[in-house]
Amino acid sequence: MTLRELLENQSVSEVHGNAAVPISSLTCDSRAVLPGTLFFALRGAQTDGHRYIEQAVAAGAAAVVLEDPAFAPAGLPWASVPDGRAAMGRISALFNGDPTATKPLIGITGTNGKTTTTYLLEAILGAAGKPAAVLGTISYRFGATTITASHTTPESTELQLAFRRLADAGAQAFVMEVSSHALEQKRVDGCHFDVGIFSNLTRDHLDYHVTMESYLEAKCRLFTELLRPSQEKPRRRAAINMDDPYGEEIARRCACPVVTFGIRGECDVRPVNITSSVSGIRATMVTPAGEFQFASRLLGRFNLSNILAAAAAGVALDLPLAAIREGIENHSTVPGRMERVENGAGVTCLVDYAHTGDALENVLATLKEIATGRIITLFGCGGDRDNGKRPIMGRIAASMSDLTIVTSDNPRTEDPSGILLQVKAGITPLALQEYRPEELADGFAERGFTVLENRREAIRLAVGLARQGDIILLAGKGHEDYQIIGTAKQHFDDREEAAAAFAERNH
C-alpha cells in the first residue's frame, strides 16, 4: 500500500513529500525499521519517539508519521497527526486488511478472570460453528498457529498483524483480553469490537494508573468510545458484571445496549439452583433467550462469575443456548489457573496466577469451601510494581491459610528482602506463629507463616510439609515459565518445580 492510501479517512494535519511512496511494514520502534517501513514517532512515558526519527531514516524508513512537525525529516515523506497512537491503530488495521471489521470480536477487560473467560468463549464459539482465535496473557493462538504474547495486549502494529495471521489461519471470530494499559495507550484503536465484557475492578497496576479513578477511566474507554455502534458493527453490545461495585457506573456510561450478568440480583443472565463441590459447579442459567442447566468442572464462585460473563457475551451475539451450554461444559483447564500438579501423595497441589489481593482471596475462599485437610499457601509479590498490594496480599493469605510461605515472585530490580518485609507487614498484626524455615523440618502444629526468599526451596518446603488430604496453593506466577531477578530472565515454572519436589519426596 502507499502512504496516501494509508492516510485516507485519517485525521491528518498535513502531509509533505511523495505520498505515493509504497509502504512494506509498520513500526514505532526505530530498532525494527527496515527499508520501506512507515515509522510512527510516538511520545511515551519513558522516551519520545521523535528523538529517533533520524535513526529510523538511516535504517531505511520510507516515511514518517509524527505529531510535532518541528522534528520532520528532510527529504522524506511525512505526515503530522494530532494523536499518533490513535492514528497508528487505525493505519495498522487498514494495512493488514482490517481483519476485525467483518468477523466477530469480543474484548474482555477487568482485573481478574479475563483469561479463563477467553477460554470459555473459545469453547462456546467453537460449539456455535465459529472457530475463534484467542489473544491474551498466555499467547495469541488459533489451531496450530501460536504467536508468543509480548504483552496481554501488544502495540497496534503487532496486534493487527496477529489478527491478520490468525484470520488467514482460518479463525472466524476473535476473543481478546484488553488491558487497561492498552486502552489508555490506544493500542486497540482500529479494532472493531462486537461485544465488550467488564469482569471486575480491584486494586492492580496502580504503579501505572496511580489511582483507582484513573484505572477505572482507562477501562471505561472500551465501553464509552470503542463500543459506539458503527457502520461496520451496528449491533454492538456490552456484557457487564453487576456484582462488581463498578458495574453499575460502567453500565450507565455505555455507548451501546447492555446485557447484565451476576450471581446476585435480577440480572439478564444469572444462575439459580447452584450447587458447588470438588467436582465443579452445577446450576440453571437464566437468560433473556431462555434457561438451561449446566455442569462445569471449574471450581468456585469466581469461576461461576467467569461462566456468566462468557454466557452473557454469547447471548449478546445471539448464539444458540445449546452452543453456550456445550461450550461451558466442554471447557478445559486454563494453564496456570487452578491447574493441578498430579502427585502420588494424596495432596491437592494447585498452581494459580492469582497476583492481586482480590484474586488470591477468591481462590482461597474456594479452597476453604472444599478443603478436608490443611491449606498451605505459597506466594510472593512482583518487584517494580504496585507495592501497596503487598501487605494486603500478606494479610489475606495468612488469614485464610493454615501455613503461609512468603517467597519471591519476580523481584526484578528491587531488593527481594524489602519486598518480603512489605508482605510480612500485613501478616504481623494477625499475631500468628512465625516459623523459621528450619523449624518446619518436623512440620507445624499451629497456624502460622514463614519467609523463604528462594522460590525453589520454598516450593520444596511446601511439598515436604503437606500431608495426605492437604491442599497446596502456589500462587502468583501461574502459567509463567520464567523468573526475573534483576534484569535477567531465567527459566522457572511452578508446575515443573512442584512435580520435581513430589518426585523427590516419593523416592
Q: pLDDT at position 85, please?
A: 94
Q: pLDDT at position 405, please?
A: 98
Burial 73-103 (b: 16+ CB within 10 A, else e): beebbbbbbeebbbbbbbbbbbbbebbbbeb
d(CA 251, CA 265): 15
Residue 94, SS3? helix
Q: pLDDT at position 278, please?
A: 66
d(CA 30, CA 461): 47
Three cell numbers, residue 300: 468456585
Q: pLDDT at position 289, please?
A: 97
Q: pLDDT at position 204, please?
A: 47
Q: pLDDT at position 209, please?
A: 45
Residue 40, SS3? strand
Residue 156, SS3? helix
Q: pLDDT at position 263, please?
A: 96
Closest CA to 254 of 286, 277, 231, 228: 228
Question: What is the pLDDT tens value at each position of the chain, 507 positions in all?
Answer: 999 999 998 999 999 999 999 999 999 999 999 999 999 999 876 789 999 999 999 999 999 999 999 999 998 999 999 999 999 999 999 999 999 999 999 999 998 888 899 999 999 999 999 999 999 877 799 988 988 766 656 789 999 999 999 999 999 999 999 988 889 889 999 999 999 999 998 754 444 444 777 778 888 999 999 999 998 899 999 999 999 999 999 999 999 999 999 999 899 999 999 998 767 899 999 999 999 999 998 888 889 999 999 999 999 999 999 999 999 999 877 889 889 899 999 999 999 999 999 889 989 999 998 888 999 999 999 999 989 999 999 999 999 999 999 999 999 999 999 999 999 999 999 999 999 999 999 999 999 999 999 999 999 999 999 999 999 999 999 999 999 999 999 999 999 999 999 999 988
d(CA 21, CA 397): 59
Q: pLDDT at position 113, please?
A: 87
Q: Which residues are within 8 A (CB) of 265 and not within 5 positions of it... i.e. 6 or more apart?
A: 242, 243
Q: pLDDT at position 507, please?
A: 80
Q: Work out the burial of residue 466: count CB atoms within 10 Å of its CB; fewer than 13 is exposed, 13-18 middle, 19 or more buried.
A: buried
d(CA 491, CA 479): 12
Three cell numbers, residue 377: 499457601
Q: What is the CA radius of gyration of the chain?
A: 24
Which domains, and CATH codes, for the chain?
3-95 (3.40.1390.10), 105-330 (3.40.1190.10), 339-506 (3.90.190.20)
